Structure 1
Amino acid sequence: MRLSAEPQSILRIGPRLWLVLLMVQLSNMLFGMTITIANVVLPEIRGTMSASQDEISWAITLNLVATAVATPLTAWVAGRIGKRALMVGTLTGFSVCSLFCGLSSSLDSLILYRIGQGIFGAPIMPLGQAIVLAMFPRHLQPTAIVLWGVGAVFGPVLGPIIGAYMADVYSWRAAFFVIVPAGLLATVCAWFALANDQDKRTVQFDWIGFLALSVSIIAAQLILDRGEKLGWLDSMEITLLAFLGVIAFWVFVTHCLTAERPFLDPRLLLDRNFALGTIIAFVMGTLTFTSLVLFPTLLHDLRGYPDRAIGIILASRGVGNWAAFLFVIPMARLIPRISLGLGLLLQAAAGYAIAQFDINMNDFDVAWTNFLLGFGQSIAFTPMTILAFTTLSKDKLTEGSAVFTLMRNFGSSLFISIAVMVTLRSTSGNYAAMTEFASAFASQTLTPLPSPWSTSTQTGLASLSDEIKRQASMIGYINAFYLMAWTAAAAAPLAFFMRNPTR
């Protein structure tokens, strides 16, 4: 699909390439928005649907799981019907599911349409990335990937801002409705930008490997989502899911190693850059959305922030993204490994700083740490993509992009579930430990408390219990952010084992 004339500067590209960039930026932004737009309105949805924190988190995690499972189909479907038909179809279905999310009347229907968003949205990023890499000459690819990444980076940031504003002015349903017109605009851009696409070919697809991997991913996600509530292996459901997941993963691995044309070509992982890049993409997925899921409920439930204020504060992450774009292009060209490692370390530092918060954190604390998270994410994102694909052959780009995006989305869904589990488990454990010392029978061992928390009255004990639960919840959030920080720090050294791209 690459044009015959190769422009020497990104500013000299033709109208069609500019339309391609607009299309991939807009579609990436919309996809990223839908993942996070629900985060900031989760408290309002939770109240409307009468759902618990772990139940409402399914609207996030199952969306990401659906995306992860459907992503590997991208190369096969694109080969069968062409990139143009796939991009137009996926953007149309994505917009329709967004409309029905806003019309949902129950948690079950909301989750169903969120899964639909994930399935239809799955090809957007890998297909857009493959189109950019195929159509732009190699010397313009770093700049083109940065521009492609604008949407991927800003979508998750704009989601909470727009979602909070629409929920505050109208209702949480409007946060989903606002996606529809932009989705239709992206569909029109795709129709014209890819008008000359004739790249159709018969692609063999390994359904056994795909289904085995899908079952193992879904089983792992359900175990993490429901394990804490059901008592882990004390539950027959969790035991069966664990058994099914292990068997499915064993089938997937053995089939990939023995099949003539497996679902995941093991030779992809023989490319050192791609193998390490895929691991780092998994970690980057864990870092991208976890804080955006945790912060809205933290600020709303523990600090009483309204939705609009939460969106405005979290906008500092977008400012960090913008600031990073001043440096990321020359850094990705000259020192890509250092840029990637630095970006991961900055995110680790931000996570560690957040873990030092207490219940009295202020707006500036939240703002500057989110700024640092956004800055580190943007500094790492472009060199991660360039390094991972620089040594991969052109005929493997679409397949590699699908695997790359699958791992990033699976990392997001998996780590969100782990973070919520750590938060809930730490909250319940610390609440139980602290309430042992706060009762009418233990009043002699306590330092005198203010009268609203008097242990000699039922009202005082209830108020004290509420405050202990707030403090225990804060400890839970702190532990989740510690986990995020150490995960980022552990991945940073991998950047220096990758090969620099050839110039």
Structure 2
Amino acid sequence: MSSSTTTADAVPPVPGEVETSLGKRILILVMVVLGSTLYATTLLIASTLLPQMQGTMSATQDEIAWAMTFNILATAVATPMTGWLAARFGRRETMIWSVFAFTLTTLMCGLADSLETLILWRVLQGALGAPVIPLSQTILLDTFPKRQQGLVTSIFGMAVVIGPVIGPTAGSLLSELYSWRWAFYMIVPVGLISFAGLRLTLPYDRPSGRASLDWTGFLSLSVAIACVQLVLSRGQRLDWFDSAEIQIEAFIAVVSFWIFLAHSLTAERPFLNLRLLLDRNYALGLILVLIYGMLNFTPMVLLPPLLQQHAGFPDALIGEVIAARGVGATIGFFLAIFVGRMDPRIGLIAGFTVQTLSGVWLMAIDLNVDMNTLMLNSLLQGVAVGVIWVPLTLVTFSNMSAANLAEGTAVYHLLRNIGSSFFISICVAEIVRATSTNYSRMVELVNPYNKALALPWVTGGWDYETVSGLAKLSKEISRQAAMIGYINAFGLYTTCSALAIPLILLIGRRARR
């Protein structure tokens, strides 16, 4: 191999061929980055649209959150299938048709006329588009020579980070001017351009066909995850285990997960190799990436309904708050370059500490919060996300052999997405529970025997002797009860951030050589 490489380097290339080759590589870079950026942007755009979609679909807050959680869950389940799909159909065809399917399902999300159809298309959007991100990086690394791979990876990473900064801002502006549907529609023409460009530029590759999918492991794990998600999403509304539906879903989840564990430990080539957990750094890295996933998208799902429905923010300003998080993530990735020169545990501790501080700050806000506070807090969250990601990836795979890297990465991203989906459902359930409980407690105080209501500064602000006055007072109590629920959810967010810090100290100092 070394002799052939030397010979190839020694032969002077034809200038025209070099230009064509370079131009084609740049086109591949542009189209691949375009497709992957659109996929990453969709999640953030959807988070800003939740309040509007909730009104259109006549859904409750926990029901409309399914549009986010089930999309993330579908992505988590489908991502580990990327290797099998690429081996079965080829990377080119898998990438091209994943972008097309993602674009088509995005259009159908905008056309959805009911909550059920919206969730269905969001699930298909996440599942069919899941191969885009892992295949994008693989294609770029295979297209460019090693001396250019560092630059290309940086461009790819920055585009994926900057895209979600622009997306929520443009999407929220369109939703305010027209409707939330146009935030999905705006992605469609760009997706079609990416589809056409990939079809014209990506080189043909022959499917190897050698990879096999462990269907028993895949289906049992998928059923277990889906049932747990249903329990978390519907439990609060159905009164948890007092409901027969929740009992059945929990039973199926336990049985499916048991089948998955038993099969994975006994099969020759399981869907996910659990023996990789014997590596301490990898096992700790999976716990940390689960926590990272729990913290990653939760504020972006919780803040838009709070700001629009209870604090009176317009959609355009909510988009700016979400976009500030993307700006912070960009800054965080730059900081990670310098932090990476030190012990990775320093970067992890710093990132999770910043995440914890942002959570404490969120717990201190009220319904009179100003725009500057929200944007600074969102920026801080983004910085933490960017700083954590690089050292977390380094320590997780520090001891892993190249042969197990692909499978280890699949589990890594699977747990990150599962953490996001499950934790969002838990936080939304807590908001619904706390809102109802605190409303019931506070309305008990509105009665003729409460002497506090006779104070001049109270009677001047609230008229509780007329129907309209009581309606206004009830609305205000609902706002304050909801705010308590959000503070509780931010408390869960802060607690999880803080719990990650002691785990970082257990990470091994050095990788085995």
Same fold (TM over 0.5): yes
**29-38 vs 242-251, greater mean Cα deviation:** 29-38
Counterpart Cα distance in 1 of 2:509 and 2:165: 31
SS in 1 for 2:366: coil
Seen in structure 2, the aligned counterparts of structure 1 residues 277 and 137 have a Cα distance that, compared at 3 Å, is: farther
SS in 2 for 1:229: coil
Counterpart Cα distance in 1 of 2:176 and 2:322: 15
Match of 1:486 in 2: 495
Match of 2:323 in 1: 315
**Residue 501 of structure 1: CA displacement?**
6.4
Once the two structures are superposed, the pairs formed by residues 41-440 of structure 1 within 5 Å of their partners are 41-131=49-139, 146-191=154-199, 194-195=202-203, 197-198=205-206, 200-440=208-448
Counterpart Cα distance in 2 of 1:343 and 1:25: 27
Kept in 2, the 8 Å contact 1:273–1:388? The answer is: yes
**28-37 vs 424-433, greater mean Cα deviation:** 28-37
Counterpart Cα distance in 1 of 2:421 and 2:324: 23
**Residue 290 of structure 1: CA displacement?**
0.7
Could you tell me which of 450, 454, 457 is aligned with 2:459? 450
Kept in 1, the 8 Å contact 2:48–2:322? The answer is: no
Counterpart Cα distance in 2 of 1:121 and 1:21: 18
**Residue 140 of structure 1: CA displacement?**
7.8
Kept in 2, the 8 Å contact 1:132–1:144? The answer is: yes
Seen in structure 2, the aligned counterparts of structure 1 residues 246 and 154 have a Cα distance that, compared at 3 Å, is: farther
Seen in structure 2, the aligned counterparts of structure 1 residues 158 and 337 have a Cα distance that, compared at 3 Å, is: farther
The structure number with the bigger radius of gyration is 2
**Residue 502 of structure 1: CA displacement?**
8.7
Counterpart Cα distance in 2 of 1:501 and 1:15: 40
**Residue 52 of structure 1: CA displacement?**
1.5
**311-320 vs 472-481, greater mean Cα deviation:** 311-320
**Residue 156 of structure 1: CA displacement?**
4.3
Kept in 2, the 8 Å contact 1:209–1:262? The answer is: yes
Counterpart Cα distance in 1 of 2:201 and 2:508: 34
Could you tell me which of 462, 465, 471 is aligned with 1:462? 471
Kept in 1, the 8 Å contact 2:453–2:459? The answer is: no
Kept in 2, the 8 Å contact 1:130–1:397? The answer is: no
Structure 2 letter corresponding to 1:444: K
**Residue 137 of structure 1: CA displacement?**
8.2
**Residue 138 of structure 1: CA displacement?**
8.4
Kept in 2, the 8 Å contact 1:256–1:265? The answer is: yes
Counterpart Cα distance in 2 of 1:87 and 1:340: 33
Kept in 2, the 8 Å contact 1:337–1:498? The answer is: no
**Residue 79 of structure 1: CA displacement?**
1.5
Seen in structure 2, the aligned counterparts of structure 1 residues 199 and 188 have a Cα distance that, compared at 3 Å, is: same
Counterpart Cα distance in 1 of 2:491 and 2:150: 33
**Residue 54 of structure 1: CA displacement?**
1.5
**Residue 478 of structure 1: CA displacement?**
1.0
Seen in structure 2, the aligned counterparts of structure 1 residues 323 and 48 have a Cα distance that, compared at 3 Å, is: same
Structure 2 letter corresponding to 1:279: I
SS in 2 for 1:230: coil
Kept in 1, the 8 Å contact 2:51–2:308? The answer is: yes
Counterpart Cα distance in 2 of 1:267 and 1:90: 31
**Residue 61 of structure 1: CA displacement?**
1.2
Counterpart Cα distance in 1 of 2:41 and 2:61: 21
Counterpart Cα distance in 2 of 1:141 and 1:331: 21
Deviations 1:412-431 (A, max 9, x none): 11111111111111111111
Counterpart Cα distance in 2 of 1:136 and 1:344: 35
Kept in 2, the 8 Å contact 1:127–1:398? The answer is: no
Seen in structure 2, the aligned counterparts of structure 1 residues 391 and 195 have a Cα distance that, compared at 3 Å, is: farther
> Number of residues paired by the alignment?
495
Q: Could you list the runs of 5+ residues in structure 2 that have no partner in the other structure?
A: 10-20
Q: Could you list the runs of 5+ residues in structure 1 that have no partner in the other structure?
A: 8-12
**Residue 16 of structure 1: CA displacement?**
6.2
TM (normalized to structure 1)?
0.90
SS in 2 for 1:228: coil
Match of 1:10 in 2: none
Counterpart Cα distance in 1 of 2:508 and 2:39: 29
Structure 1 letter corresponding to 2:381: L
Structure 1 letter corresponding to 2:488: N
Kept in 2, the 8 Å contact 1:32–1:154? The answer is: no
- Superposition RMSD on alpha carbons, in Å? 2.8
Counterpart Cα distance in 1 of 2:251 and 2:134: 31
Deviations 1:431-464 (A, max 9, x none): 1121111134x33354621345233333222211
**265-274 vs 419-428, greater mean Cα deviation:** 265-274
Structure 2 letter corresponding to 1:392: M
**Residue 196 of structure 1: CA displacement?**
5.5
Seen in structure 2, the aligned counterparts of structure 1 residues 174 and 256 have a Cα distance that, compared at 3 Å, is: same
Counterpart Cα distance in 1 of 2:305 and 2:166: 17
Kept in 1, the 8 Å contact 2:82–2:131? The answer is: yes
Kept in 2, the 8 Å contact 1:142–1:382? The answer is: no
**Residue 114 of structure 1: CA displacement?**
0.9
Kept in 1, the 8 Å contact 2:327–2:382? The answer is: yes
SS in 2 for 1:171: coil
**Residue 19 of structure 1: CA displacement?**
5.1
Structure 2 letter corresponding to 1:57: A
Kept in 2, the 8 Å contact 1:157–1:318? The answer is: yes
Structure 2 letter corresponding to 1:427: T
Counterpart Cα distance in 2 of 1:336 and 1:188: 41
Structure 2 letter corresponding to 1:331: V
**Residue 159 of structure 1: CA displacement?**
3.6
Seen in structure 2, the aligned counterparts of structure 1 residues 140 and 353 have a Cα distance that, compared at 3 Å, is: farther
**257-266 vs 397-406, greater mean Cα deviation:** 397-406
Seen in structure 2, the aligned counterparts of structure 1 residues 341 and 125 have a Cα distance that, compared at 3 Å, is: farther
